[in-house]
Chain A
Amino acid sequence: MTAPTDQHREGKKDVTFRIFRFNPQVDSKPYFDDYTIQVERGITVLRSLNYIKEHIDASISFRAFCQAGICGSCGMRVNGLSQLACTTQVWDVLAKSREPGIIKVEPLRNLPLIKDLIVDMDPLVDKMKHYSNWIDSTMPESSMGKKEFLISEEEFLRYDKATDCILCASCVSECSILRANKEYVSPAVLLKSYRMNVDSRDAIHGERLAELVKDHGVWDCTHCYRCQESCVKSIPIMDAIHGIREDAIELRGMKDTSGSKHAEAFMSDIEKKGKLVEATLPIRTNGIVWTLQNLLPMAVKMIMKRRTPPPPPLVKSAKGIKIFREMFREMTEHVRQDHKSHKK
C-alpha cells in the first residue's frame, strides 16, 4: 500500500482480504474474491478497502462516509464479527485472525443483501417507525421554542449512553433471534425505544410499551448478550432491554397481548421458583420444535460461556417469598448478576 510510513518504526505485512462478492444483476449466488496488498501499522480496514477499490478492483461496493466512527455507514463483518471498518485496525484483526494473514470481509447479517458489502437498512428504519422511536412531546407544537423543560442530570444520565447509538446495525447483525425471525424488533430499536420511554418529555410511553410487548417484541429476546458485546459504541443494550421488561411488568401487568405468553411463562417461573428460568422460556412461547431448531445450538454455546442460568432442575425454589414485588426484585437482581458476570 502506498499509504504513509514512518520507516524508522513501522514494518509492513502482506495481507489477503477475502471479500464477499455479489452483484444481483449477474450473480446467481455470492462468492469470495481475494486481494492481497501490503499494509503497514496504523491502517484501518476501511482504508485497505478503499485502496483495493482504487487500485485493483473498482467494482467492489461498500458504504463509507465519515471515516471517523460517527456516521454508522461502514458496518460489516470482519473475520466474522460485525464492526465498523473505519475504526478497525488491520493489525489488530490480524493478531486475532485464525488463518494467518487473511482477513475475511462480509456484509452484515439479518438485513437484506443489496450488493457485495451493502445491505438494505430500510427494514430497520421501518421498525423505528413501527415502535415510534421518537419523542412525542408533551408540549404542543404551537408553544415550542419559548421555554425549556427543566431536566435533572439524573434523568439525562438515564438516556445519555443510549443516545450514542449511530444505527450502524452491528448489533442487529449479531442478534441471535433476528436470524430466526426477521420481524423481531431488533436490539437497536429496543435501545431507542427505551431511550424514549425514560424521557420525561415524551407523552406516548404507554402506547410504545403496548407495542413492545406484542409478538416479535421485547419478550422474544433470549438474553444472549451478543448485541451488547458487539456494540461499536459499548452501549449497555441489555440494561435497556431489562428496563423495558421491568416497565412492562410494572405498568402493564400480564395483559392479554399474544406476546405476553412469554411474559406469563416468565411470571410463572418467578412464582414457582422465585427465579427466572430462562432456559425454558423459548420452549413455552415458541413451541419445542422451533426451540430445538433455532435455539438449542445457541443455548449450548451460551451455557458454555455462562451466559444462561443453569437448566431448570438446578434452579432452587426461593423460599418464603410470597409477595410478587419481592420476587420481582430478586429476578431483577438475578439478571443484573448475570449481566455483571458477563462483563468480566
Chain B
Amino acid sequence: MKPFDIVIVGGGGAGLYAAMEAMKTNPSLNIAVLSKVYPNRSHTSAAQGGANAALGNKAKDDTVEMHIFDTIKGSDYLADQDAVDVLCSEAPKIIRELENMGTPWSRMEDNTIAQRPFGGAGRPRCCYCSDKTGHTILQTLYEQCLKKGVIFFNEYFALNLSVKGSRSRGLIAMNMKTGNVEAFPARTVILATGGYAKMYWNRSSNAAGNTGDGQAIAYRAGIPMKDMEFVQFHPTGLRKSGLLVTEGARGEGGYLINRNGERFMARYAKEKMELGPRDLVSRSLETEILEGRGFDSPAGKYLHLDLTHLGADLIKSRLPQIREMCMQFEGVDPIDEPIPVRPTAHYSMGGIDTDNFTRTIMEGVYAAGECACVSVHGANRLGGNSLLDILVFGRIAGHTAAEEAGKFEPGNISEAELKEHVEEMRGGMHASGHHERYGELREELGQTLALNVGIFREASLLKRGIQDIAELKERFKKVRVTDTSDVFNTNLMQVLELKNMLDLAETVAAGASAREESRGSHTRIDFPVRDDAKWHKHTLATRVKGNVVLGEKPVTMGRYELQERTY
C-alpha cells in the first residue's frame, strides 16, 4: 500500500468530520478512512435527541457562556474548562455548517433551526431533526465525504498501530472481505472509533461494535487512557437487549413498578417521582433490584415501566415509536402489558487522553469523538453534548493532522513486522488445545462489570471485579475461533473485539477502585461524597509490561470555582 499522509480509523461523526476538514485544510494530502462497518452504519446514527448549541433560536437570551457553565456543572467539575470553552464556542458554527451542507434540521416557526430543552441545560438549546438527529448528521457527513471523493476502506478492522520508538509509522488492519492483514503506512493516524460501553454487553444500549477498539489499540501502544471509570447509565433499557426506552415514556406519565406493585420512586424522589435526574433514577432502579424487589428472569432481574393506565389512544398517538420498539424487540405491547426494564450502560466519558488539539502523547497519533477524552464531559456527560463533541473535535483533529502531517516522516511498515502482527492476531486461536468459548467469556465479562463495576461500586465488589477480569483474560489465552475461513470471518472479528474489551475493562475497574469518592456517574457506596481535596483530578491508566499503572493529571480550571452540584 502506498503511504498515506493521514489514516483515519472510524467512519462515525468524528471520523467523517475529520476527513472532510483535513481535505479542506490541505487538498493535496493523501487521506484514507478505515471503518469496520460502512460509515453510514456507525453508532452515531443511534443518537436521537440532538446536539447542543447556543444558537438562541428558541431562547433568545441563551449564550455560549451559559452553555459552558451548564457543561462544567454537569461534569461535576471534572471537565477541563479550556476544553469546554472550545466545545461550546464552536458549537453554533458547527451546527450552522452542517445546516449549510444539507442536514435536515427540524425548523422553528420563523424557519430557523429548531431547538428543544434537554436534561441539565438552563435553556432549550438542543438542535434536532425529529428523533433521528444522529442518523441525519451521519448521512450528511457521509454524503459530503462521497462528494469530496474521500477514499474509504470499508469493512476493514483496525488491529494495531505500528510503533517505532516514540512515534507511530502507521496502522495494521484486516480486510474483512479477504481476511488479509494489510499495512497502512502513514505520517499521522487519527483514532475515531467510538465508545466502549458495550463491554457491559446486554446491559448496554450500544451497538455490538462499540467495543473500544481504538482505545485498546492506543492503550497497547503505550498511550494513556483518561478517566476510564466514568460510564454513564441510562435508567430504562429493555431487559433483553439493553435498548433504550427514552425518557418520553416517563414524561407522558409512565410508572416504575417493583414486584410488590409499588411505585418505588416515592422512596427516592418524592416530588419528581419518575421524572428525577437520570443518574438518580438509575440508582433507584438498581437499589430496588439489589434489595430483592425486582422481577426474576434467566437473563437477570428487572422492573416494570408501566404505561397500561395511559390507555391505547394516548400510547398510539404520543408514543408510537416506543410502542413499536417494545413490540419489535421485546415482543411486548405496552398497551396491554408493562415494559420490562433495567438500567443500561450508555456512554463512556473516559477514553484516549488528548490535549485540546486532539494530540495524544504519541507523535503523529490523534484521537477524537467518544473514543477520546479531552475532557469536555468530566464525570458526567450532558445529553446533546456528545454529538457536539464528536463534531467539534473531529473537525479539530482533521485540521491539526493536516497541518502537522508534513512534520513527520512518511510511514513505513516492513513485511517482517506485518507478519508479527498476523502471528499475534491469530496466535493459535484455531488450535484444538483452545477450548474457551467466546460467547461465554463475553457474557461473563458483561455480568461481572454490571455487578461489580456497575452503578454502585464498593471496595470489595471492585476487588471481585478486578479478579474476575484477570481470570477472564487468562482464559481468553485459550479462546477458540472455530471458523477457519478467511472471507468475512465474523467469528474472528468478535474474538478480537472481546480482547479489546478485556484490556479496557481492566482500566475501568482499576480507575473505579482507585477513585475513593463519588462524583458524577461514579458512585462509591463506601465513599458517598465528592472529595475535592483528594480527587479533583483525572486518572490516567497506562499499560506497562502488560499491567495497568495508574497516574493522574490535574483538571484545568478557569472562570468557574468548585461548587456543590445540585439541581
**Cβ–Cβ contact B331 & A91, under 8 A:** yes
Residue A302 at the chain B interface, CB threshold 8 Å: no
CB <8 Å contact, B45 and A125: no
Decide: A145 near B102, CB < 8 A? Known: A65-B208, A134-B146, A163-B136.
Answer: no
Max count, chain A CB within 10 A of own CB: residue among B42, B100, B136, B140 = B100
Cα-based distance from A71 to B45 in the complex (angstroms): 7
Query: B111 within 8 Å of A by Cβ?
Result: yes
B173 at the interface (CB under 8 A from A): no
Q: Chain A: residues with CB nearer than 8 A to chain B?
A: 2-6, 23-26, 41-44, 47, 53-55, 58-59, 61-73, 86-89, 91, 114-116, 118, 121-122, 125, 128-129, 132-137, 139, 141, 144-153, 156, 159-160, 163-164, 166-167, 196, 199, 201-202
Residues of B within 8 A of A114 (CB): 177, 487-488
Residue of B nearest to A147 (CB): B96
Q: Is B297 a contact partner of A66 (Cβ separation < 8 A)? A: no
Given contacts A25-B487, A118-B488, A129-B146, contact A201 B102 (CB under 8 A): yes
Expressed in whole angstroms, the Cα–Cα distance for A114 and B489 within the complex equals 11
B96 and A144 within 8 A (CB): yes
Tell me whether B328 and A148 are in contact (CB under 8 A).
Answer: no
Q: List, in ascending order, chain A residues with CB within 8 A of B208's CB.
A: 64-67
**B101 CB-CB contact with A under 8 Å:** yes
Complex formed: what's the CA distance from A177 to B429 in Å? 45
Give the complex CA separation of A134 and B143 in angstroms. Answer: 5
B488 touches A156 (CB 8 A): no
Most A CB within 10 A of own CB, among B104, B129, B332, B438: B104
Given contacts A160-B130, A166-B135, contact A71 B46 (CB under 8 A): yes
How far does the Cβ of A139 sit from chain B's closest Cβ, in whole Å? 5
A120 to chain B, nearest CB (A): 8
CA distance A216 to B109 in the complex (A): 41
B166 contacts chain A at the CB level, 8 A cutoff: no
A69-B328 CB under 8 A given contacts A4-B298, A144-B101, A163-B129: yes
How many Å lie between the Cα of A116 and that of B490 in the bound state? 11
Residues 321-380 of B at the A interface (beta carbon under 8 Å) = 325, 327-332, 340
Inter-chain CA distance A6–B339, complex, in Å, is 12
Closest residue on chain A to residue B94 by CB atoms: A145
Query: Nearest residue in A to B205 (C-beta to C-beta)?
Result: A68
Contact A68 B298 (CB under 8 A): no
Residues B123-176 near A (CB distance < 8 A): 129-130, 132, 135-136, 139-140, 143-144, 146-147, 154
Complex contact A41–B146 (CB within 8 A):
no
A23 touches B485 (CB 8 A): yes
Q: Which residues of B contact A156 (CB under 8 A)?
A: 104, 106-107
Cross-interface CB contact of A72 among B41, B97, B239, cutoff 8 Å: B41
Nearest residue (CB) in A for B24 is A141
A6 → B minimal CB distance (Å): 6
Given A70-B45, A144-B96: A23 in contact with B327 (beta carbons within 8 A) = no
Name A116's closest neighbour in chain B (CB-CB). B488
Partner of A151 from B107, B147, B297, B491 at Cβ < 8 Å: B107
On whether A71 and B37 interact (CB within 8 A), knowing A134-B144, A166-B45, the answer reads yes
In the complex, residue of chain B having the shortest beta-carbon distance to the beta carbon of A66: B207
Nearest A residue to B139, CB-CB: A163
Decide: B241 and A148 in contact? CB cutoff 8 A.
no
- CB of B447 to closest CB in A, whole Å: 14
Number of A-B contacts (CB under 8 A): 193
Provide the bound-state CA to CA distance between A65 and B102, in Å. Answer: 26
B40 adjacent to chain A (CB < 8 Å): yes
Query: Does B112 make an interface contact (CB < 8 A)?
Result: yes
Across the A-B interface, give the 6 residue pairs with the lowest CB-CB distance, nearest first. A42-B331, A135-B102, A4-B299, A134-B143, A54-B439, A150-B111
Query: B495: nearest residue on chain A (CB-CB)?
Result: A58
- B99 to A, closest residue via Cβ: A148
* B486 interfacial contact with A, CB 8 Å: yes
Contact pattern, B 447-486, Cβ under 8 Å of A = 1, otherwise 0: 0000000000000000000000000000000000111011
B239 near A148 (CB under 8 angstroms)? no
B residues neighboring A (CB under 8 Å)? 24, 37-38, 40-43, 45-46, 93-94, 96-97, 99-102, 104, 106-107, 109-113, 129-130, 132, 135-136, 139-140, 143-144, 146-147, 154, 177, 207-209, 239-241, 243, 295, 297-300, 325, 327-332, 340, 437-439, 481-483, 485-491
- Kindly list chain B residues whose C-beta atoms are within 8 Å of the C-beta of A73: 37-38, 41
Looking at A5, A59, A122, A129, the one whose CB has the most chain B CB atoms below 10 A away is A59
Q: How far is the CB of A10 from chain B (nearest CB, A)?
A: 8
On chain A, the residues within 8 Å of B43 by CB distance are 65-66, 71
The answer to whether B96 touches A89, judged by C-beta atoms less than 8 angstroms apart, is: no
Q: Which residues of B contact A59 (CB under 8 A)?
A: 482-483, 485, 491
Which residues of B are found within 8 Å of A196, using beta-carbon distances?
102
In the bound complex, residues from chain B placing their C-beta under 8 Å from that of A65 are 37, 41, 43, 207-209
Q: Which residues of B contact A202 (CB under 8 A)?
A: 102
* Cβ of A60 to closest chain B Cβ, rounded Å: 9
Question: Besides A67-B208, A135-B140, A160-B130, 9 other CB < 8 A contacts?
Answer: A3-B298, A42-B240, A42-B331, A54-B439, A71-B42, A89-B331, A115-B487, A144-B101, A163-B132
- Pick 15 A–B contacts, CB within 8 A, sort by A: A4-B297, A5-B297, A42-B240, A54-B439, A59-B483, A64-B208, A65-B208, A71-B43, A135-B143, A146-B96, A150-B110, A152-B111, A163-B129, A166-B135, A199-B104
Please state if A62 and B40 are interface contacts (CB–CB under 8 Å): no
Given known A-B contacts A4-B240, A42-B330, A163-B132, A25 and B207 have beta carbons under 8 A apart: no
B439 touches A145 (CB 8 A): no
A201-B486 Cα distance, complex, nearest whole Å: 45
Docked pose: A47 CA to B327 CA in angstroms: 15
Q: What B residues does A2 contact at CB under 8 A?
A: 298
CB atoms of A5 and B298 under 8 A apart: yes
Contact present for A151 and B111 (CB under 8 Å): yes
Residues of B within 8 A of A149 (CB): 99-100
Please indicate the chain A residues that have their CB under 8 angstroms from the CB of B325 in the complex.
Answer: 68-69
CB distance from A54 to the nearest CB of B (A): 4
A136 to B482, CA, bound (A): 48
Whether the Cβ atoms of B97 and A144 lie closer than 8 Å is yes
Residues of B within 8 A of A133 (CB): 143, 146
CA distance A23 to B154 in the complex (A): 20
Task: Report whether A68 and B483 are in contact in the complex, using a CB–CB cutoff of 8 Å.
Answer: no
Nearest chain B CB to A219's CB is how many angstroms away? 25
